[in-house]
Structure 1
């Protein structure tokens, strides 16, 4: 199988597929084009039920941050809402006191606190090391927090281009993740340390459309060497 030319994180984030994507820029909290619809969970309702006093929500690849802004007025003054996006809002908007907007790469950014809820709505499609981000995010949850992230197994490839999605899902499930194939949604309940299942070798920004119909990134990995392989 012919290997595709892979790019590093810096080049990937400068590519047209990542820099110009609009997948999550205008999505609100509820309604037709919303987090509640895409996730099958209303983040605000979940936070109010599970964390009525001091809820915390981290939204990775948050785009314009509309969902966080819409949730803020209904949450306590001590709530912590954090949005992280490579580009951030294209037009400066007022930020609620409980909300923090961070313009940074989710591939390198690390929080300073745990979160009750972590979401990544169609954001992994534009991340090079998807499995690395998922395993890092698993450690950012509170003890009984919830992680929700859209995931397309077909975007996970071996270094030579072969399909690695099935192996990746098996490794994620073994680590405690659940996967809803109808919603293309990974969930994880409770913080834990997860070892990346494979070694990341680079990204393919020309992988083509994924299940959403939009151009997405291919994430390539090498197989872990086991004692049996040595």
Structure 2
């Protein structure tokens, strides 16, 4: 008991000797002059986060005059140019010599192409197209400007053959110049075939499928086939 009391008294004396010093440390206040504090410490938001290089670039760009942005339409209009339509090719010497002879022998026949299909007709013939031509009405007059042959009893004007090894290969059809002839046809109307019924079956199956079809066709009448003179063409 005596030893414990002496230990407690010594601990109390040690704590009492340290208590005034701790109070003195905690109560000390450091007074500073506000004018001596840097601006960067008082207002941290004023610090520029840009690098020196970017700051130099900004100072130069601010000194330069601002450029007015151009719209994409104005830039396109400055560089695009509209080309003039190509002039029609001149007639060859053989065509100039033989075209009057062909014109002097009516009537003429013509091999005209409609939607890629050839039809050999003369004036007054009726063409029954194997399809329904879109956007036409009965009474419309069509000019057939694609032809590969125009002929009479003794003369025939033929379109040039495609040259092998060029872009106009064997698979491409070349047509005559539409200035050399005139071919017009009138739309008479449309025809429809009788209803056809076809039964379709598959092997080892009892189901029978019925298919109905009724095709419609456009009928044209060739009203005019004419060969023009050299003076009219030129």
TM-score higher than 0.5 here? no
Between structures 1 and 2, the one with greater helix share: 2
